[in-house]
Amino acid sequence: MADVAVIGAQWGDEGKGKIVDWLSARADVVVRFQGGHNAGHTLVVDGEVYKLSLLPSGVVRQDRLGVIGPGVVVDPFALLDEIDRLRQQGLEITPDNLAIAENATLILSVHQELDAMREASHSGVKIGTTKRGIGPAYEDRAGRRALRVVDLAYPDTLGEKVEHLLAHHNALRRGHGVAEIDGASLIARLKEVAPKIAPFAKPAWRLLNDARRAGKRILFEGAQGVLLDVDHGTYPFVTSSNTVAGQAASGSGLGPGAVDYVLAIVKAYTTRVGKGPFPTELDDALGQKLGERGHEFGTVTGRKRRCGWFDAALVKQSCRIAGVSGIALTKLDVLDGFDRLNVCVGYDINGTKYDYLPSAREAQAAARPIYETMDGWSGSTENARSWADLPAEAVKYARRIEELIETPISLVSTSPERDDVILMRDPFQG
């Protein structure tokens, strides 16, 4: 059986949570391999809504092991809050069904404050971050001054590690005219939270390698989307980690051969949160209609998402970059009742036609979509569980997307409910 990596092929918010939850019924282990609690996954199970940020989506199935890999940056306080919230909804999160990589980087309050200071600054590029401290934590990891989960187990040496970290951060804070961080207070908070996090800390690489050797199925869960990848996305309006499928290996502790099938989640239209280029954006009544019908508000921030037509050129680009095997087409039901649907097949950039989005910010800002128009449908696709349940025009729309992105459809999701899925090909079958 194949091990599967699930990623987003757009700017995130494609509906990965539901698909990962659906696939986790066929998996033994679900592992998050990048990002932090800036991710937002909403699951609807028997009418109960679960909102996840840092925990792997598989935790809603109590007999699955969830793993937070070393490629993830972990806010220990946010993690404990999320665990408590799910416990109030009847889910038990214990060291028996959740493991945190001991070498994962910690997000601290100093990171969140730096994130907010930069966004509020009158200089530099406004990225539109979630102000969760994700970027600054990754910066400290690259600068080799970060604290990691395992450091919480050594309180006697915590002081010198915090001192090393604050030598950098307090210099930045002085530059912003902000009071320096009190190291003693930070150390006290970390010592307080340490006993609550310690039981979950494990050598994730060993757990995952043992699981693979035992023949267990592993599901790798990505956050955000390819277009937000720090190398391959619409830079600088991106996240601070690699979101492509290749990160599943290094972000978990398994070799690249561990991923047998890459499933990209693709929304039937396009959305984006925050700033940055968006060639097919609809800043009109149609865009508002998409947002209202799709309930397009961020799970983490509550921010209204920007909405627009499906961009086949960008999704094809994402599928090539990430080595996608097949896609899960989500939120098809949101398009019910539209008379006509536009699909972007390329761009006009200052009079030159492109079938991909160039890397230059100037070119991305100037990109004007080239559309192909298709008939919409008046019937309902909601709750459909087979192609026969779909209006003919909806089938044509899905099949045309397959052709344009040159990648087959494996699944179609037709509502937020767990079982409203049309299965074309089981990713775990390879």
How far apart CA 158 and CA 156 sit, in angstroms, is: 6
The pLDDT of residue 299 is 59
Active site residue 41: yes
pLDDT at 123 over 80: no
Residues 8, 13, 15, 16, CA torsion sign: positive
Q: What is the pLDDT of residues 37-60, one digit of tens each?
A: 987 777 777 778 888 889 998 888
What percentage of the chain exceeds 70 in pLDDT? 97
H helices present in 89-157, as ranges: 109-120, 134-142
Q: Work out the pLDDT band at 300, boundaries 50, 70, 90.
A: low
Which residues 6+ apart lie within 8 Å of 396 measured at CB? 374, 375
pLDDT at 333 over 90: yes
Mean pLDDT value of segment 255-259: 90
The pLDDT of residue 17 is 81
- Structure tokens that stand for 183 in this block: 């190291």
Q: Quote the DSSP letter at residue 255.
A: -
- Structure tokens that stand for 138 in this block: 């990754």
Catalytic residue among 3, 21, 37, 41: 41
Q: Work out the pLDDT band at 73, boundaries 50, 70, 90.
A: very high
Q: What is the pLDDT of residues 343-369, one digit of tens each?
A: 999 999 999 999 999 999 999 999 999
Burial classification of residue 351, based on how many CB atoms lie within 10 Å of its CB (0-12 exposed, 13-18 middle, 19 or more buried): exposed
Q: What is the pLDDT of residues 362-401, one digit of tens each?
A: 999 999 999 999 999 999 999 999 999 999 999 999 999 9
Looking at every residue in the chain, the average pLDDT score rounds to: 93
Please state the pTM of the whole predicted model: 0.93
The pLDDT of residue 38 is 82
How far apart CA 357 and CA 351 sit, in angstroms, is: 14
Q: Work out the pLDDT band at 301, boundaries 50, 70, 90.
A: low
